[in-house]
Chain A
């Protein structure tokens, strides 16, 4: 296994989880009413909560603010 694969998995594992939660929520609320309407909204909202918690956790770690990657994108 090359070194790039674990890197890619580490980078995308949380985004993949969030995308899966979003899609299950979007389609679930379309397929059924009642509980699924609530679950669909909750799953979509959960993606924002997870992202918010991750941001909050990083903000409070000592390494925050010392990026090692160039900021040359736009």
Chain B
């Protein structure tokens, strides 16, 4: 490689790393507990609980919704989701004038209407998740972290290019322990970097896709749901809405054999102003991560459309497990955490090498 080309790649590697290192360190450190968020939530929120009437009749979804809204008068429903291992329905609602991202979350015992203890979303984990996702800055924060993710990809690609000339005469695995600390750390940096390159590119690339979740979903609404959205002039009012329970049953007949995942209410991010969007997922390991919504007209309760997700929403859906590493059991999570720690070492050693080189130059 010509020395001018080498210098150009070195410049890309140095500056793409330097610009992003502090943010990537924050992402690695906050990402570590998020790999184990299910286990940590279970530990922090562990509370003995049983439904009031395990064998009794269950409230229908309209009754559950009424109970939830009666506890927070004036709020409008946004989402409803369903626990898989207990008869609990989760209602997410918000005040019409609430700031973006501020919601009320209520797990409700479907056998009694009583409040049930949450099994996820401990405040500590929510804090870490939001720091990791947008640094409490909303969409600008997400997009900024996406840019840092692109810097990471540039640093990894340029690092691979630079690996060739530096390792040309050294066998794989060499760490020159007899040389200066700086050389030793350079070898560790190169070795750890090249071993983790595929994993870092997958986690970094999917992280960038995840930061685009808001524009991706907005684009889906503006295109795939455009015809449905144009059917009415004004949003459906709360007292105009048809039965939610019947809407979900109608959606189930449109997508038989699928698993009900959640309902997005009219006006929420995942639906139009006039439809219940009832989301289902498949039952294979892969299709568990892929959803398909049935759109039910909230005024009439009739099926308006089944809207299979376009490729870019599927990419977003698959990017979430591939980024957080929470899809393959505890063994995969432990290896994920080790790779995360190695990435912290790579970032820190890169910073050390830059500082050491500057000191030597001066």
Q: Which of B87-95, B175-183, B215-223, B296-304 participates in binding chain A?
A: B175-183
Contact assessment for B186 and A14 in the assembled complex, using a CB-CB cutoff below 8 Å: no
User: How far, in whole Å, are A12 and B197 apart by their CA atoms in the complex?
Assistant: 12
Number of A-B contacts (CB under 8 A): 145
- The answer to whether residues A58 and B199 also contact, given A67-B170, A74-B354 and a CB cut-off of 8 A, is no
Instruction: List residues of chain B with CB within 8 A of the CB of A59.
Output: 175, 177
**Interchain nearest-CB distance for B105 vs A (Å):** 28
Instruction: List residues of chain B with CB within 8 A of the CB of A55.
Output: 173-175, 191
**Interchain nearest-CB distance for B23 vs A (Å):** 19
Instruction: List residues of chain B with CB within 8 A of the CB of A11.
Output: 163-164, 167-168, 172
Contact assessment for B178 and A30 in the assembled complex, using a CB-CB cutoff below 8 Å: no
User: How far, in whole Å, are A22 and B140 apart by their CA atoms in the complex?
Assistant: 32
Contact assessment for A19 and B197 in the assembled complex, using a CB-CB cutoff below 8 Å: yes
User: How far, in whole Å, are A74 and B167 apart by their CA atoms in the complex?
Assistant: 14
Does any Cβ of B come within 8 Å of A69's Cβ? yes
The residues in A between 43 and 72 inclusive whose CB is less than 8 angstroms from any CB of B are: 44-45, 47-48, 51, 53-59, 64-69, 71-72
Contact assessment for B180 and A71 in the assembled complex, using a CB-CB cutoff below 8 Å: yes
Does any Cβ of A come within 8 Å of B350's Cβ? yes
Contact assessment for B199 and A30 in the assembled complex, using a CB-CB cutoff below 8 Å: no
**Interchain nearest-CB distance for B221 vs A (Å):** 27
Instruction: List residues of chain A with CB within 8 A of the CB of B202.
Output: 22-23, 26
- Select from chain A the residue with minimum beta-carbon distance to B187: A67
Give residues in A with beta carbon < 8 Å to B: 7-8, 11-12, 14-15, 18-20, 22-23, 26, 29-33, 36-38, 40-42, 44-45, 47-48, 51, 53-59, 64-69, 71-74
